[in-house]
Amino acid sequence: MNEVNIDTVIDFLKSLQDNICDALEVADGSGQFVEDNWQRAEGGGGRTRVLTNGTVIEQGGVNFSRVSGNKLPPSATAHRPELAGRSWQACGVSLVIHPKNPHIPTSHANVRFFVAEKEGEEPVWWFGGGFDLTPFYPVEEDVVHWHQTAFDLCKPFGDNVYAEHKKWCDDYFYLKHRNETRGVGGLFFDDLNQWDFTKCFDYIKSVGQGFIDAYVPIINKRKNTPFTDHQRQFQLYRRGRYVEFNLVFDRGTLFGLQSGGRTESILMSMPPLARWEYNYQPQAHSPEALLYERYLTPQNWLSVQ
């Protein structure tokens, strides 16, 4: 089946936003997401949900948006010039969770759908998304669990899907000016339309559910781990890398700003607190040094791929 049905995608994305928020509220134990509905003058709108100052989550946002327009921004047509002159619709769920406890990683996930149309021609469509993990004090079993969940959800869609989308994630979430990955990776993909519409949509559904299955168990394992002010300060320092990536490299941020999206919703991915320190160097043989030495370089985290 290759018939595009954006309304079905919209219904799924809204239910995914609900399910993720529900799961995170249970894991937090006290915090609740506050919803902010918004409209975009050029077409479309969305609902932004933010949880602040929870028991576990310092700040987290889970966004749903559906936006449209008659002309694509430069960030979209730069590598797809054939889309110039088409009307378009884009919808998706995107989230970033910044926990208080440095032993719980920051996490990001995104699933999205894009279609561009022109009278008399077939629509051009694709899916994109993925999820990635940014630990400060990594526990290897958590990283293995994260990647095992990714591997398992990819398996029904092809033997090479996990390896391809893991590598894409490692390559995309890479800070060139720091010569390090943003974290331990996961899955990332864009321009997904090599299967028919139904199979591509099924994959997106698996990725959305997979984020919950991958992340919530890590929260539950680590949320009661004691931490020191030294560890908190290192967490805030490493959050600065998140800011650097989102403002310098992230295509989604650029697309949102260039297409006239809601700035508060686009930048909800930023941490509530972060710090920078000139020429920071971790102490040799410290847990902080281990992060740099082992976890900020692409690794084979599974015995089978």
CB neighbours (10 Å) of residue 281? 9
Question: Quick check: is 285 catalytic?
Answer: no
Catalytic residue (choose from 79, 103, 108, 165) = 108
110 is in an annotated binding site: yes
Is 108 annotated in a binding site? The answer is yes
Nearest CA-CA partner of 197 in 121, 114, 129: 114
| Alpha-carbon gap, residue 205 to 224, rounded angstroms | 31
| Residue 262 annotated as part of some ligand binding site | yes
CB atoms within 10 A of CB 15: 14
Q: Cα angle vertex 206, ends 254, 188, to 5°?
A: 35
**Strands of 44-52's sheet in order across:** 34-39, 44-52, 57-69, 87-99, 106-117, 124-134, 185-192
9 is in an annotated binding site: no
The response to whether 147 counts as a known ligand-binding position is yes
Query: Binding site annotation covers 279?
Result: no
Consult the annotation and say whether 230 binds a ligand.
Answer: no
**Do residues 88 and 67 make contact, with C-beta atoms less than 8 angstroms apart?**
no
Distance, in Å, from the CA atom of 16 to the CA atom of 64, rounded to the nearest integer, reads 9
Return the DSSP state at 298. Answer: -
Handedness of CA 223, 153, 130, 109 (dihedral sign): negative
Is residue 261 a known part of a binding site? yes
Q: Is 79 annotated as a binding residue?
A: no
Residues in binding site: 94, 98, 108, 110-112, 147, 177, 260-262
Name the residues annotated as catalytic.
108
Residues in binding site for a divalent metal cation: 98, 108, 147, 177
Residues in binding site for substrate: 94, 110-112, 260-262
